[in-house]
Amino acid sequence: MATTSACPIVTGVSPKDGIPGTQVTIRGENLGSGQSDLVALIICGTDCLVTAKWKSPSKIVARVGQAKRGLGDIILVTKSGGRGTSNVQFRVFFEQVGPLAESSVWVDETRTVPIRNAIRNVTEAQNNKDILGISTGEVTDQAIMQKYFPDSSGNLRMNNFNPAWYILESYKSAKMSDIMVGISNLKKEIMKEKQSSKDVHKSNLYSLIHCVDALDTLHKTIESDCESHGWPLTTSVAERVNAARETSDKLFSGILSRKDKADATRNALSVLTRFRFIFYLIENIEKNLNDGDYAAILSDYSRAKSLFKDTEISLFKEVMDHLNVKIQKFKETLQQRLMGIPTSLEEQSKLIKYLMILDPDSNPGWNCVTTYHCWLEDQMWELQEKYVKMSVDKNYDQSANDNQSYINSFVSEFLGMLCEKLVAFTKLASIYTTANQEDNTEDVNQMIRNSINLGSWLVLNAIVPEAIPQSVKDEYGNRFAKFNDLSRDGFEQVESLIQALKTVRSSLKTLLESQFSRHNVQPLIELSKTLRIKGIEVLTTTVVEGILALSTKENWKIDYTAQNFKTLLPDLYEAKINEMLPSTKLLLTSNGVFEDDLFINDSIRQLIVDRYMMVVCTIKECLEQMLAIKLRKRPHRLFNESDSGSTNSAAVEEQKKSSSEVNGRRLLIAISNLDYILNGSLPQICKKLSDNGLKYSDLILDKAKGDMSVLRSDLISKYLELKTGPLLSLLDCISYEHLPEEDDVSAYIKELVMGMIFVKAELNLVIPAISSHLLQSAIRIVLKQFVKALKTIIVRNDEHATQIVIDVTAVEEAFDMYIDDEVRRVMNDLRAPLKAVLDRELFEESMTNFKGAMFFAIESISSNNHTSDV
């Protein structure tokens, strides 16, 4: 029985490294039973079995093949033991063959020898060996050697090698004895190289003999063939091969031509039998086209096209030509139906699918998208024209729209249509964009933005056409129509703007829920902001006009039952402000999606604050117009040219008529109303405005209080001027040429006292809270003029002096409660020089008579004083 040997094990190799072709001795265990038992010998990944020589089960001699550089295993495969293992590794390296070394193989010298193949970057120096063996380590500078030997070199490999250069460069400090030793060393080196050359030939002797034997054998074979077959040797062979080729070509051509003819006939009969439907295809296409069965048409055409597209049969080619003409008309029909808007999404999908089958290189889906976009813009313009025509023809049914104007209905229907069509457009675009998605996505987004932008301008044109920039009007020419809606007053217009704002916000929410980006719906966001700002402008303008119109509703009747003395005007003023609060809250509150706070923008914030400040302060202009103090034009920044035409001309005319009727009572009523507005109305109004979304109400309150306070001071001055004017005129005419007939004060003193009594009575009746202050101011004005007038009197005698003292003392007694220290001091200074000539008896008698006669007058002035904070 045959026994199975153990697997080979390589335990040693000698040498352990070498170049490719190195002979190695491999030692180990179970290395085979003989040369025929060897299957493979792999050294460093290269099979070396060809060069392997089996010596014993523990020794094999072989040469390394053309292996790659590096370490590798030695694997032996035998029939008896199978694949073995290796405990050692062999390292392959490549020896650099020097330019002067002998080699049995061809060496590429292009990278080692200078000037070979224009390789110029090999250094000429510092590559030489110490050929004399006496190197001192000193090397002379190359520049110096080049100077003395300009056309030479010290490199042994160069053709212009100069021994003198070499010796001076490498051994300049060597002694003569050292040079002689070096020459001996050089001779020994030459002998060694000769011996090395012999060793090379010995090591490659087998190869040389084998080459010589091969050349000899080849030579003998060629001579033998020449003698037996002649020269050249291939002539007869070529002749026979050519003859055989011609014969075979004839046979093959004959058989092939007969087979082709038979196959052609057989195929023609098969095609005529199998595809007879082609002759009925055009008729079937016409029938299916009328029935709308497009799928059957495409199925039959695809079948015929796949079979007869490249046919060379003239009959079939003619049929296919007619068929292509019919299919082209069918394709045009599909395109017309696809572009015919509106078409359902399902129907569009089928039509696009059919067109893609007919022309795979086309893009009918994208054509449908662009057509839909153009159609949508046309629909927007048509809807505008529809409502404009309705407004002109007066055919609009107001009862069906719950008090909304036809413009609001237009906005509602318009934005509803726009949202619905845009959602359908995005679905269509998302399905039928081409492979270049990025570019087409940007195009789709641009179409969406263009449609929404146009829609925003059309809505703005319907509500506030003056808000459209001139550049936009120039871009669209005269396509923006003019709506006829002149019946709405200011609050109706505000309500229309608010309703449109709600519709825009709802539409914006719908689009965002349909996955529209903020960038796409930005025009609607800007439209919402514009409507809010315009609503604030219209609202404030309307309220300002309403407040100014209150001047015609003032009845000048004081409500004495109330705690505060005021007329109907403050209540009407507050009512007008309260009327605008709900609209203010809706316009200032950012309830919409992506809506910014209007007060963030500096210019818009200033506009809003100025608008509401004007509303709050308009009561000042109303009071001025009622009192005919001054007739101002309304601020140009608040009213445009069209608004000025709607000025309340009746109120202005009424003011002009009543300018002569302005009296002290009305001035006091106005002051009383101002006090109520300053202390009660303004804080409440600003608080309510703040609660309804208006920021910076404290600034408005401060500004309004400042303006009202100025007006109050002006009215007080006007009243004092009105009431003290006659008394001052009286004082300008005083004279002591004629003294009283009885012992009494002068007549004009009594007139002064009675005048002040009337003033106090009016003050206590109309505005008792500040009557004491106003009366004191009036008395102070009169007494200053009184003192001034007395200073101009020339005292001619003692009677005159006594009468002046009597008059001054009487005034002091009558107005004692209202005379301040300064006036009292001036009066004392006036009276002091006259006391020296005073008739005491006459003075006392006159004062007694004055107090007795004017007792009730003096008491009425001095009693019932009301304190005031003013």
pLDDT digits (tens, 9 = 90+) for 411-456: 888 788 888 887 877 777 776 665 444 467 777 778 888 888 888 8
Q: Give residue 267's pLDDT.
A: 79
Q: Give residue 698's pLDDT.
A: 86
Burial of residue 845 (number of CB atoms within 10 Å: 0-12, 13-18, 19+):
middle
pLDDT at residue 403 tops 50: no
pLDDT at residue 250 tops 80: yes
Residue 229 CA: distances (Å) to CA of 222, 237, 621: 10, 10, 139
Spatial separation of the C-alpha atoms in residues 857 and 861, rounded to whole Å: 6
Are the C-beta atoms of 311 and 317 separated by less than 8 Å? yes
Most confident of the ranges 146-155, 226-235, 858-867: 146-155
CB-facing half-sphere around the CA of 505: CA atoms within 13 A: 20
84 pLDDT band, cuts 50/70/90, is: very high
> 466 is written with which tokens?
């003056």
pLDDT at residue 547 tops 60: yes
364 pLDDT band, cuts 50/70/90, is: low
The pLDDT mean for the chain works out to 77
pLDDT at residue 613 tops 70: yes
* Percent over 70 (pLDDT), the chain: 78
Find all residues with CB under 8 Å of 150, minimum gap 6, and list them. none
Q: Give residue 654's pLDDT.
A: 46
The mean per-residue pLDDT over the stretch 716-733 comes to 82
Ranking 32-41, 55-64, 545-554, 593-602 by mean pLDDT, the lowest is: 593-602
pLDDT digits (tens, 9 = 90+) for 558-594: 776 666 677 788 888 888 888 888 888 888 887 777 7
pLDDT at residue 378 tops 60: yes
Are the C-beta atoms of 573 and 579 separated by less than 8 Å? no
Query: Using the 8-state DSSP alphabet, how is residue 837 labeled?
Result: G
pLDDT at residue 643 tops 50: no
Ranking 350-359, 702-711, 792-801, 814-823 by mean pLDDT, the lowest is: 350-359
Between 1 and 858, the more confident residue is 858
Could you tell me the end-to-end alpha-carbon distance of the chain, in angstroms, rounded to an integer? 142
600 pLDDT band, cuts 50/70/90, is: confident
Q: Kindly tell me the sign of the dihedral angle through the C-alpha atoms of 580, 583, 589, 594.
A: negative
Query: Using the 8-state DSSP alphabet, how is residue 9 labeled?
Result: E
Strands 38-43 and 46-47, sheet pairing: antiparallel
Angle between helices 345-358 and 314-339 (to 10 degrees): 150
The mean per-residue pLDDT over the stretch 108-118 comes to 53
Spatial separation of the C-alpha atoms in residues 104 and 859, rounded to whole Å: 154
Q: What is the CATH number of domain 9-92?
A: 2.60.40.10
Three-state DSSP class for 23?
strand
Q: Where are the domains of the chain?
A: 9-92, 234-268, 276-358, 364-520, 540-718, 733-862
Q: Give residue 128's pLDDT.
A: 53
165 pLDDT band, cuts 50/70/90, is: confident
Q: Give residue 648's pLDDT.
A: 45
Query: Using the 8-state DSSP alphabet, how is residue 678 labeled?
Result: I
The mean per-residue pLDDT over the stretch 458-480 comes to 80
pLDDT at residue 359 tops 60: yes
The mean per-residue pLDDT over the stretch 506-527 comes to 82
